[in-house]
Amino acid sequence: MPGIALVRKPGPRIAEGIVTHIEREPVDPERALRQHDAYVAALAAAGWRVTYVPEADELPDGPFVEDAVVVSRRLAVLTRPGAPERRPEVESVAAAVRELGLKAVRIAAPGTLDGGDVLQVGRTVYVGRSARTSDDGIAQLTGLLPERWIVPVDMTGVLHLKSAVTALPDGTLIGDPRHVDLPGLLVPPEEAGAHVVLLGGDHVLMAASAPQTAAMLEKRGFIVTKVDISEFERVEGCVTCLSVLVAD
């Protein structure tokens, strides 16, 4: 499974990133950069070839590259973020996916779509209806991915769908039923436990802020790598936000 991991280093203005459902807290940009380096090292250790999108110090939310593109096999769907101030992030990501040889298509105005609202599980693609992703954006994504089964999902109290639910390597959905109503949810002991990145095989990446969930998943037979992303969590980020994985 390992292939290419797209990432972007955080800039000095990361503390100015948009927060919606949490109180704003101070963020240490230097510590955020060290944490990002450790996150990237974990991806590389799992076999992913890291590609950096050009730095964008003027864009506080730039390191959350997941929101700028949705990759399905060799197709890159360039998003139109729901927050207008985030739309300039897309062009540098577009250049990066084209350099990888992916076919690029776009979500067009007036539709909006954030990649953080898109959860791919096998042939199924769950898409959250949120303040950032509109019904028009979901309809456009449906047309661009005719071979996939698109499932719109209502949610409450979180920024993105993947703030509430992700999927384990065996396809089990892990998430918080307070924020999303999906059948068969495995409920984690901690809020951050709802966020996993699939590294290949039975290997997952999780935030260090969810140690009980990590232990629960290890008992279920998964290999868990934990990384400290506390500075990103202060601006409503999670482990899924910080990379786009393009499988070989």
Query: Which residues carry out catalysis?
Result: 160, 241
3-state helix, strand, coil in the chain (%, to 5): 30, 25, 45
Cα separation of 185 and 124, whole Å? 16
Cα separation of 135 and 36, whole Å? 33
Cα separation of 148 and 114, whole Å? 18
* CA 98 centroid distance within chain: 20
Cα separation of 156 and 133, whole Å? 13
Cα separation of 185 and 23, whole Å? 27
Element (H, E) at 105: strand 103-106
Specify the 3-state DSSP secondary structure of 5.
Answer: strand
| Close Cβ partners of 107 (under 8 Å, ≥ 6 residues apart) | 77, 78, 79, 80, 113, 137, 140, 141
Q: Where are the alpha helices (DSSP H) in the chain?
A: 29-45, 89-99, 135-144, 211-219, 230-233
Cα separation of 236 and 31, whole Å? 16
